[in-house]
Copies of this chain bind each other. A is one copy, B any other.
Amino acid sequence: MSSRSVTIKDIAKILGISKSTVSRALSEHSDVNQETRKKILEVAQQLNYQPNALALNLKQQRTNTIGVIIPETVNRFFAKAIGGIQRVANLAGYNVMICQSDESYITEKNNLRSLIASHVDGVIISVSSETDRTDHFDLLLQKKIPVVFFDRIREDLHTSQVYTDNYEISFAGTEHLIQQGCQRIAIIAGPQNLHNSRNRLNGYMDALKKHDRPVKESYIVHSNFTGGNIEEYTRYLINLPQRPDAVFAINDYAAVEMMHVFKKNGLKIPDDIAVLGFNNENIGRFVEPPLSTIDLPSYDMGAVSAEILLAQIRDASAPIQRKLVKSQLIIRESTHRITTP
Q: Specify how many copies of this chain sit in the oligomer.
A: 2
Q: Are A55 and B58 in contact (CB under 8 A)?
A: yes
Contact with B along A179-220 (1 / 0, CB 8 A): 000000000000000000000000000000000000000000
Interface size on A, residues (CB 8 A): 49
Query: How far, in angstroms, from A131 to B289 measured CA to CA in the complex?
Result: 39
Q: List 26 A-B residue pairs with CB atoms under 8 Å apart, sorted by A's residue number.
A: A52-B119, A53-B117, A54-B57, A54-B63, A73-B82, A74-B76, A74-B79, A74-B83, A83-B100, A86-B99, A86-B100, A90-B99, A90-B110, A95-B97, A95-B114, A95-B118, A96-B98, A97-B97, A253-B286, A256-B286, A259-B286, A281-B283, A286-B287, A287-B287, A287-B288, A288-B288
Q: Are A53 and B119 in contact (CB under 8 A)?
A: yes
Contact with B along A53-70 (1 / 0, CB 8 A): 111011001010100000
Q: Are B96 and A50 in contact (CB under 8 A)?
A: no
Question: A50 contacts which chain B residues (CB < 8 A)?
Answer: 117
Contact with B along A89-117 (1 / 0, CB 8 A): 01000011111100000000010001101
A265 interface contact, C-beta 8 A: no
A268 interface contact, C-beta 8 A: no
CB distance from A275 to the nearest CB of B (A): 12
Instruction: Give residues 112-131 of A contacting B (CB, 8 Å).
Output: 114-115, 117-119
A263 interface contact, C-beta 8 A: yes
A30 interface contact, C-beta 8 A: no
A65-B118, A96-B99 are known; give 15 further A-B pairs, CB within 8 A. A54-B54, A54-B57, A54-B119, A73-B73, A79-B79, A83-B100, A97-B97, A97-B98, A256-B286, A257-B286, A259-B286, A260-B286, A287-B287, A287-B288, A288-B288
Question: A117 contacts which chain B residues (CB < 8 A)?
Answer: 50, 53
Query: How far, in angstroms, from A118 to B90 measured CA to CA in the complex?
Result: 13
Give the residue name and chain of the B residue nearest to A80 (CB).
Answer: B74
Q: Are A72 and B63 in contact (CB under 8 A)?
A: no
Query: How far, in angstroms, from A3 to B82 measured CA to CA in the complex?
Result: 30
A13 interface contact, C-beta 8 A: no
Instruction: Give residues 20-66 of A contacting B (CB, 8 Å).
Output: 50, 52-55, 57-58, 61, 63, 65
CB distance from A227 to the nearest CB of B (A): 9
Question: A54 contacts which chain B residues (CB < 8 A)?
Answer: 54, 57-58, 61, 63, 119
A143 interface contact, C-beta 8 A: yes
A235 interface contact, C-beta 8 A: no
Q: Are A73 and B63 in contact (CB under 8 A)?
A: no
CB distance from A168 to the nearest CB of B (A): 26
A317 interface contact, C-beta 8 A: no
Query: How far, in angstroms, from A80 to B76 measured CA to CA in the complex?
Result: 11
A239 interface contact, C-beta 8 A: no
A142 interface contact, C-beta 8 A: yes
Question: A143 contacts which chain B residues (CB < 8 A)?
Answer: 3
Query: How far, in angstroms, from A79 to B71 measured CA to CA in the complex?
Result: 12
